[in-house]
Amino acid sequence: MTSINQNLREQTVSLLAQHPRARLYNGDTPLEHLPRLTAELGGAELWVKRDDLTQLAFGGNKVRQLEFYLGQAKAQNADTVLITGAVQSNFVRLAAAASNKVGMACHIQLEHRVATEDPLYHNNGNVLLDKLLGATLHHFPVGEDENGADHALQKLAIELQNQGNKTFIIPLSPGHAPYGTLGYIQAALELQQQFEQIDTCFDQIVVGSGSGTTHAGLLFGLRLLGIDTPVIGVCVRREAELQRPRIAERCEEIAHLLGCASPVGKQDIIIEGQHLAPGYGVSNKNSDEALRLAARLESLILDPTYTAKSMAGAIEISRRLPADQRILYIHTGGTPGVFAYQHDIELAIKDGH
């Protein structure tokens, strides 16, 4: 049985209402049971929150985050959005899409984070969509220099300002107001209502942890609402020992942005680092298995960089927990990545036979 603490809900709603939101999708994303995948694993019951279905241009978690970034951009009367991401970044594709929706231009800086010369990686998937959506593309040659990339973007912003544009930067490095996390506090409000509607409690929530915006926002939002379900962040970008302080820092930044005490304790930050290897944007045996099982048993399409790894985490947890436990997996999108990783996916399919 679930019950909503109305006081905490109202407080959370009013904390969020301090910040402008540009609406980019309508309604709640579905919450679905995954019976065939659960049966195959023989462990805890798996459910999925379909944040791959956030409507805008192939959807994904970044749509929720962009609602609050573009809310700010609109409030500041910006006309041009600047953003950095990996070559196959879903965030930059969705920033281009969101900019179109609110009538702003979008400049994308692609950082070269994955060591591959594969033409599909450099031209298909998200890159093709960035171009189709009309964004202007720039390149940053390094993939592990967040401050350097932000500095380059600031230089570009100054050039654009000199040409008469009003710019708004979505920064890559931590230490900035984490507007995107507010989208996942909003998601926590949505989930709370859905838990009540289906009258179901979850024992664990599993989510990919990259920049940490989704993980920190969701964790913060659930704790603000008085929901103490463990949230397991599966590393998709960097090692666990780097990700843990990053999530802690993000939570402090959220508290500062909202002007409230952080409800997140040290023990709330749970990081699962074993599914990242060999590194960002490169698949492994378990992520290949997750990609295959999700597609073949539930027709759930995952991508090799993010969701196959986070699902590998959910699968591993499901296998080791008893059947009376329930896990909620957050599907964060990334669908266009499938078309940039054709060769890896073909290998994953072959290995499954």
Determine, following the binding rule CB under 6 A, whether residue 12 of this chain makes contact with ligand PLP: no
Determine, following the binding rule CB under 6 A, whether residue 59 of this chain makes contact with ligand PLP: no
Q: Report d(CA 258, CA 260) in Å as an integer.
A: 6
| Of residues 231, 333, 322, the one with CA closest to residue 38 | 322
Report the residue from 49, 64, 215, 292 that binds ligand PLP according to the rule CB under 6 A. Answer: 215
Q: Report d(CA 341, CA 39) in Å as an integer.
A: 29
Determine, following the binding rule CB under 6 A, whether residue 313 of this chain makes contact with ligand PLP: no
φ, ψ (nearest 5 deg) of residue 19: -115, 135
Kindly state the helix (H) or strand (E) to which residue 128 belongs, with its residue range: helix 126-132
Determine, following the binding rule CB under 6 A, whether residue 212 of this chain makes contact with ligand PLP: yes
Determine, following the binding rule CB under 6 A, whether residue 179 of this chain makes contact with ligand PLP: no
Q: Which is nearer to ligand PLP, 84 or 332 (CB)?
A: 332
- 116-155 CB burial, b ≥16 within 10 A, e <16: beeebbbebbbbebbeebebbeeebeebeebebbbebbee
Residue type at position 150: D
Q: Which residues contact 151 (CB under 8 A, 6 or more apart)?
A: none
Q: Report d(CA 236, CA 241) in Å as an integer.
A: 13
Q: Which is nearer to ligand PLP, 72 or 305 (CB)?
A: 305
- Spot the catalytic one: 3, 89, 173, 211: 89
The pair of three-digit structure tokens given for residue 226, joined into one six-digit string:
């008085």
Report the residue from 125, 171, 334, 336 that binds ligand PLP according to the rule CB under 6 A. Answer: 334
Q: Identify whether 3 is a catalytic site residue.
A: no
Determine, following the binding rule CB under 6 A, whether residue 72 of this chain makes contact with ligand PLP: no
Q: Report d(CA 184, CA 21) in Å as an integer.
A: 13
* Distance, CA of 93 to chain centre: 13
Tokens 């009258």 correspond to 199
Determine, following the binding rule CB under 6 A, whether residue 221 of this chain makes contact with ligand PLP: no
Smallest gap from Cβ 117 to ligand PLP, in A, equals: 22
Contact window for ligand PLP (CB under 6 A) among 21-29, 220-228, 332-340, 344-352:
332-340
Helix 285-298 and helix 307-320: axis angle, to 10°?
80
Q: Which is nearer to ligand PLP, 71 or 212 (CB)?
A: 212
Determine, following the binding rule CB under 6 A, whether residue 178 of this chain makes contact with ligand PLP: no
Report the residue from 307, 326, 327, 338 that binds ligand PLP according to the rule CB under 6 A. Answer: 307
Determine, following the binding rule CB under 6 A, whether residue 64 of this chain makes contact with ligand PLP: no
Determine, following the binding rule CB under 6 A, whether residue 60 of this chain makes contact with ligand PLP: yes
Determine, following the binding rule CB under 6 A, whether residue 192 of this chain makes contact with ligand PLP: no
Determine, following the binding rule CB under 6 A, whether residue 84 of this chain makes contact with ligand PLP: no
Report the residue from 213, 243, 286, 287 that binds ligand PLP according to the rule CB under 6 A. Answer: 213
Q: Which is nearer to ligand PLP, 43 or 208 (CB)?
A: 208
Cis peptide bond upstream of 278, omega within 30: yes
Residues that bind ligand PLP (CB under 6 A): 60-62, 90-91, 208-215, 236, 306-307, 332-334
Which residue numbers are catalytic? Answer: 89
